[in-house]
Amino acid sequence: MPDQSIKITGPFRQLLTMDKLPLKGSLKDAQLEIIEEAGIVHQNGLIIETGQFKSLCTKYSFAGITIQPIDTDLIVLPGLVDPHTHICWAGSRENDYALRLEGKSYAEIAQSGGGIWDTVNKTRHASGVELNKSLISKSSRQLSCGITTCEVKSGYALNLEGEIRLLEIIKAVRQEHPIDLVSTCLAAHIRPRDFEGTANEYLQYLTMMLLPLIKSEELSNRVDIFVDEGGFSAREAENYLKAAKKLGFDLVVHGDQFTSGGVHLAVNLGAKSVDHLEVIQSGEIKILAASDVVATALPGASLGLGCTFAPARRLLDAGCCLAIGSDWNPGSAPMGDLLVQTAILGTFEKLTNAEQLSAITFRAAQALGLNDRGILKKGYLADFIGFPGRNYREILYNQGMLKPRFVWKRGAQFF
Ligand SMILES: [Zn+2]
């Protein structure tokens, strides 16, 4: 029998609800709703009310209430949302890293047997048990870092059976792990070397053979494509994304990491988000700001490759909805620590605490099309995390190294 009792958790030194903030544009810390000596009332994994702990205890002082007392200073936020990862893979790419340090280019590394294709080979040959174990371990690390919702892409098999297998593994882990995993099909990562045909023919093959199967097996409702050098051109991607949209998928675009083209496509086709944006130009920032497409920055990839960051300050000032993802992957972003990367991007791009925290809570949820999390208010998921401390500014000031002491997922405490 699931526990149906009403619970009050608290008191918390500070509770940041992330409520009443705009979805788009710049934010000042003064706009944050902060409740001192706060509590959260929740039942069946959903929030009933937030407010001052003492008055909540009085209001709900009838029978059947469980008070979950907290006897230490905690700063509480909504559970974090990582809207962009590739954490279903096998192998390791430390040799690519060493070659990058020697100044080798992406193409040279790929030619010498490294790059995405190396991970594809290792992932194809890994057992399901191995991949499952690895995804569980990464999901557990995410949860311990306060991430209660995490997007995971396929894209390291690049053939029909392999991509289905990865999406099935993600589905299996989602069913057994407390973290919420949101799967995305990234079979259009690169054209696989063993596919006999053009990039267009590969995308047609995915459209005809893979996407309908994913739909009928309910393995994912999101389709992503890498629109860039080494991936697919905007022209090639357009037909593929149109076909995916027709089949009912939500769209996501890896765009403007090295070359432009992805933003127009994402806006024209009404994608949920366009991710990377390191080389986005002023005109495209304007177009993006006028749309409902979320701009997802991936500072982990900039750190991994030694490239510039996405212009997060300019994106916010223009009125974009900015999310931040870890891009956790074996090649360009092996660190996979969303909070550290957010704090680093915040320092370089001069983002306020409010802007950084929004980008990894409700604005990141928007990138995943989820409107039931990322804010602590009535009816939303009781996903919340508590950092040791007395002032919310301590969190990012510590550059991501202050980790949550407690993590609650759907009202249940995991750490
Ligand atoms: Zn990515």
**What's the 134 CA to ligand 1 centre distance in angstroms?**
18
The secondary element (H helix, E strand) that includes residue 339 is helix 338-349
Higher-confidence residue of 229 and 196: namely 196
List, in sequence order, every residue forming a beta bridge with 36; answer none if it has no partner: 14
**What's the 4 CA to ligand 1 centre distance in angstroms?**
39
Residue 54: which pLDDT band, with cuts at 50, 70 and 90?
very high
d(CA 368, CA 344): 23
d(CA 118, CA 88): 14
Task: Say what the pLDDT of residue 107 is.
Answer: 79
**What's the 308 CA to ligand 1 centre distance in angstroms?**
16
**What's the 53 CA to ligand 1 centre distance in angstroms?**
41
Average pLDDT over residues 359-363: 98
Task: Say what the pLDDT of residue 2 is.
Answer: 60
Average pLDDT over residues 113-136: 96
Structure confidence by residue, pLDDT tens digits, 283-308: 999 999 999 999 999 999 999 999 99
Q: With 0-12 CB in 10 A as exposed, 13-18 as middle and 19+ as buried, what is 116?
A: buried
Average pLDDT over residues 141-167: 98
Average pLDDT over residues 368-381: 98
Task: Say what the pLDDT of residue 230 is.
Answer: 84
Q: Which of 178, 195, 251, 242 shows the shortest CA–CA distance to 220?
A: 251
**What's the 3 CA to ligand 1 centre distance in angstroms?**
38
Task: Say what the pLDDT of residue 33 is.
Answer: 98
Structure confidence by residue, pLDDT tens digits, 222-258: 999 999 988 999 999 999 999 999 999 999 999 999 9
Task: Say what the pLDDT of residue 111 is.
Answer: 83
Checking if the pLDDT of 355 tops 70, the result is yes
Checking if the pLDDT of 149 tops 80, the result is yes
Listed in order, strand segments (DSSP E) in 236-366 are 250-255, 273-276, 294-297, 322-324
> Residue 187, CB half-sphere, CA atoms under 13 Å: how many?
31
**What's the 391 CA to ligand 1 centre distance in angstroms?**
33
**What's the 2 CA to ligand 1 centre distance in angstroms?**
37
Residue 178: which pLDDT band, with cuts at 50, 70 and 90?
very high
| DSSP for residue 228 | S
Task: Say what the pLDDT of residue 361 is.
Answer: 98
Percent of the chain residues past pLDDT 70, beyond the cut: 99
Task: Say what the pLDDT of residue 1 is.
Answer: 53
Checking if the pLDDT of 315 tops 90, the result is yes
**What's the 310 CA to ligand 1 centre distance in angstroms?**
14
Percent of the chain residues past pLDDT 90, beyond the cut: 93
Residue 82: which pLDDT band, with cuts at 50, 70 and 90?
very high
**What's the 364 CA to ligand 1 centre distance in angstroms?**
15
d(CA 169, CA 172): 5
**What's the 225 CA to ligand 1 centre distance in angstroms?**
9
Q: Are 2 and 44 in contact (CB under 8 A)?
A: yes
d(CA 134, CA 140): 10
Residue 62: which pLDDT band, with cuts at 50, 70 and 90?
confident
**What's the 177 CA to ligand 1 centre distance in angstroms?**
23
Q: Are 376 and 384 in contact (CB under 8 A)?
A: yes
**What's the 23 CA to ligand 1 centre distance in angstroms?**
23
Using H for helix, E for strand and C for coil, what is the string for 345-388?
HHHHHCCCHHHHHHHCCHHHHHHCCCCCCCCCCCCCECCEEEEE
Task: Say what the pLDDT of residue 229 is.
Answer: 86
**What's the 142 CA to ligand 1 centre distance in angstroms?**
17
